[in-house]
Structure 1
Amino acid sequence: MKNLKFLDRVFFLVNSLIATMLLLSFLLPYVSPQSIPEFTILSLFVPALLFVNVAFTIYWIIKLKKQFLLSFLVLIFGWFFASPLYKISENASALNSDLKVMSFNVKTFDFFNNKKKVENTKNGFEFIADQALDILVLQEYYQLKKNKLPYPYRYIKLRSKRSKYGMAIYSKYKIINSGSLDLKSTGNNIIFADILKEKDTIRIYNAHFESLKIKPNEENFGEENSEKLIGRVAQAFKRQASQTALFLNHEKQWKGKKIICGDFNNTAYSWMYHEISKNKKDAFIVAGEGFGKSYNYWFPLRIDFILTDEAAIINQFKTFTEIYSDHFPIRANINW
């Protein structure tokens, strides 16, 4: 510090604070939101913390200063112990027998027919049809008069008898069993459907965990009072923890093949992801590429997931960039 100019001393103090925050964030998978909910909010900002620490490392290296070691060593630690932020493609060849699965938070189909909101001439229903999917899993589903998703089998769970809002699982294969966990005091839910593919029964979960109700296009996430924002998000994370426990209790009763799709409303650096992904494969980590950004925000938030049991073989994974919602659709080719 003695050999640094005043401005560089200020930079290093800021660097030290951000490096410490990133280091602490590596503890997030082991800290339940039920115990320290305010701390778990940090999981949303891990991607940004990683970028800033990379920037500080480059800055100090350019200036030939040993201060680069601070962020560099924290990043190296994260390389071994945290979920990857960026993946180089490891896609294998797709097989005809692959189960092609897409998970998509469609935001009640708000942008599906509005071509002014999308980057190409196709609407959202045409985009989905082009994917030739076997399984389509939708969050924030809305029951339209003219349903343009021609699948022979479906399980749709609406919030209530009078509501048109809910969750949906569409399938090319026969659905032989289905159900809902009926999450209480929330518009979110977890549903499942057991499909019969040849002689295999595969359970498909569609999970939409408690929403944070963040408005990314508004100043300060839509809140004038930052304390109110923190309190609201912390409360949402506590609900996510309760919903995670409910899901895990239900899931452990199924011993067969399974795929968990959904909008977790949290990142791969969170406690809930750590608990749900135990003894499972994350399709993005196995076969994805890039940042896997699934939420339309200024830094890469991956909050939508496709997970499988450990026996599954994930041949391909893709995160699409077409804008038909505030989420981007994700697709995986899965086999056993």
Structure 2
Amino acid sequence: MIRLSHLILVVVTLASYLPPFVNPATFWPMATMGLLAPSLWGLILLFAFYWMWKRDNAVWLSVITLLLGWEMMSNAFAIPDGNTAPHTTKISVASLNGHGFRQQPDKDIVDFIKGLDVDVLLLQEFKIRAQGDALAKTIKGQTDFPYLYRKTEAQLVVFSRFPLKNGEVHYFSNRVNGYLMVDVELPEGTFKLVNAHLQTNGISNLANEVTHDGRFQEKKTWQKVKTMFGRYGRSNKVRTQQSLEILSACEKTNLPILLAGDFNDVPTSYLYQRFSAKFQDAHLSQAWGLGTTYQGLLPGLRIDYLLPDDRFIIHDFDRIPCGFSDHQAIRAEISLQGG
């Protein structure tokens, strides 16, 4: 029975390695397997230790499965190489999905932003219209950000200690998801900042129901799980199209690019594979572990990213828990090459 369970796990784990190579527009159900890949890989690792302890040749099946997924897992689990960059002029950048800053006093928001102590701040799910105008004015007046770019009806915002020029906001199908592009003028040079918020999965409520109230012996609980994975797969298809639009927009500038925000997808996804071909990942460069940024049903969900292109040097990266959001803030120190 153990051997059969091991064999089934190997087959499922190998299937979970496929999402980065299968376009969700072609077959979106495959995208859901990427969510399970880190957990499955971990179970295979436990089996490897078990077969080693039993001195059984089945260990080689586990080892081969682990090696086949090594490159994929290296995107999910950071192990920095320890290299240090030469001294350059650094800037600090942070990104946070503020979860709408719901019912949160302005003072708490301002205190959190001050605690980040960054030069450039990207926010997603910012308040809009009159409430957003008031909050933006408060943040700008009580922090060290003399520059701000936002549209009054947009949920994407950039605050900066450096001048901002040539700003534009592009929506997708709604006023929540889209991307903001703006030039940040440093003394050492100018770079293009892209603040992105891609299609949400819409599974948070279902995930909470399954986690807190679900009984796995009941059919309706498994129906909810099925619905969750279905929504994730279909939204992954939408995000893939959105990512192509962002990548196309990035190709139209010769400036160095820093792409950041809430991508609503994991490092084992097709979407991440597209972005990682063009950009560095600050977490993989300078952090350890899975780097969870969102507390969801599955452990280790990293869906928020800071992705500088190769014209930047990444010096540091960390995550900061945020009491008024279901996301963590992510922060990095970077510099322009030769700056």
* TM tier, smaller: 0.7 to 0.9
Determine the structure 2 residue equivalent to 1:14: 5
1:155 pairs with one of 146, 149, 164? 149
Question: Does the 8 A contact of 1:178 with 1:192 survive in 2?
Answer: yes
Determine the structure 2 residue equivalent to 1:130: 115
SS at match of 1:83: helix
- In the alignment, the residues of structure 2 paired with residue 99 and residue 91 of structure 1 have an alpha-carbon distance, to the nearest angstrom, of 19
SS at match of 2:166: strand
Report how far residue 185 of structure 1 moved: 4.2
- In the alignment, the residues of structure 2 paired with residue 17 and residue 111 of structure 1 have an alpha-carbon distance, to the nearest angstrom, of 48
SS at match of 1:166: coil
Report how far residue 217 of structure 1 moved: 2.3
SS at match of 1:97: coil
- Relative to structure 1, is the Cα distance of residues 100 and 111 closer, same or farther in structure 2, using a 3 angstrom cutoff? farther
- In the alignment, the residues of structure 1 paired with residue 176 and residue 112 of structure 2 have an alpha-carbon distance, to the nearest angstrom, of 27
Report how far residue 293 of structure 1 moved: 1.0
TM-score (norm 2): 0.84
SS at match of 1:217: helix
Residue 89 of structure 2 is aligned to residue 79 of structure 1: no
1:143-186 deviation digits (Å, cap 9, x = unpaired): 2734335321111235x4xxxx6111111110011111221246
Write the mapping of 1:22-171 to structure 2, written as runs, cut at 5 A. 22-80=13-71, 82-89=73-80, 90=82, 92=84, 97-110=89-102, 113=105, 123-142=108-127, 143=132, 145-146=134-135, 147-149=138-140, 150=143, 151-158=145-152, 160=153, 166-171=155-160
Question: Does the 8 A contact of 1:47 with 1:299 survive in 2?
Answer: no
Question: Does the 8 A contact of 1:175 with 1:196 survive in 2?
Answer: yes
Write the mapping of 1:220-299 to structure 2, written as runs, cut at 5 A. 224-297=223-296, 299=299
Report how far residue 228 of structure 1 moved: 3.5
Question: Does the 8 A contact of 1:47 with 1:301 survive in 2?
Answer: no
- In the alignment, the residues of structure 2 paired with residue 225 and residue 219 of structure 1 have an alpha-carbon distance, to the nearest angstrom, of 7
- In the alignment, the residues of structure 1 paired with residue 42 and residue 113 of structure 2 have an alpha-carbon distance, to the nearest angstrom, of 33
1:123-161 deviation digits (Å, cap 9, x = unpaired): 453232123211101111122734335321111235x4x
- In the alignment, the residues of structure 1 paired with residue 149 and residue 165 of structure 2 have an alpha-carbon distance, to the nearest angstrom, of 10
- In the alignment, the residues of structure 1 paired with residue 299 and residue 283 of structure 2 have an alpha-carbon distance, to the nearest angstrom, of 17
Q: Decide which structure has greater helix share.
A: 2
> Once superposed, what is the RMSD of the aligned Cα atoms?
2.6
Which structure 1 residue ranges, 5 or more long, are not aligned?
1-8, 115-121
- Relative to structure 1, is the Cα distance of residues 32 and 313 closer, same or farther in structure 2, using a 3 angstrom cutoff? same
1:295-328 deviation digits (Å, cap 9, x = unpaired): 1135111111111111211011112245441111
Q: Which amino acid aligns with 1:152?
A: P
Question: Does the 8 A contact of 2:38 with 2:73 survive in 1?
Answer: no
Question: Does the 8 A contact of 1:319 with 1:328 survive in 2?
Answer: yes
- In the alignment, the residues of structure 1 paired with residue 274 and residue 95 of structure 2 have an alpha-carbon distance, to the nearest angstrom, of 20
Larger mean Cα displacement after TM superposition, 45-54 or 326-335? 45-54
Q: Which amino acid aligns with 1:125?
A: V
SS at match of 1:141: coil
Report how far residue 35 of structure 1 moved: 0.3
Report how far residue 21 of structure 1 moved: 2.3
- Relative to structure 1, is the Cα distance of residues 234 and 173 closer, same or farther in structure 2, using a 3 angstrom cutoff? same
- Relative to structure 1, is the Cα distance of residues 300 and 94 closer, same or farther in structure 2, using a 3 angstrom cutoff? farther
Which structure 2 residue ranges, 5 or more long, are not aligned?
215-220
Q: Which amino acid aligns with 1:109?
A: F
Report how far residue 41 of structure 1 moved: 1.3
Q: Which amino acid aligns with 1:325?
A: S
Larger mean Cα displacement after TM superposition, 320-329 or 195-204? 320-329
- Relative to structure 1, is the Cα distance of residues 95 and 156 closer, same or farther in structure 2, using a 3 angstrom cutoff? farther
Q: What number of residue pairs does the alignment pair up?
A: 315
Q: Which amino acid aligns with 1:141?
A: F
- Relative to structure 1, is the Cα distance of residues 270 and 226 closer, same or farther in structure 2, using a 3 angstrom cutoff? same
Report how far residue 53 of structure 1 moved: 1.7
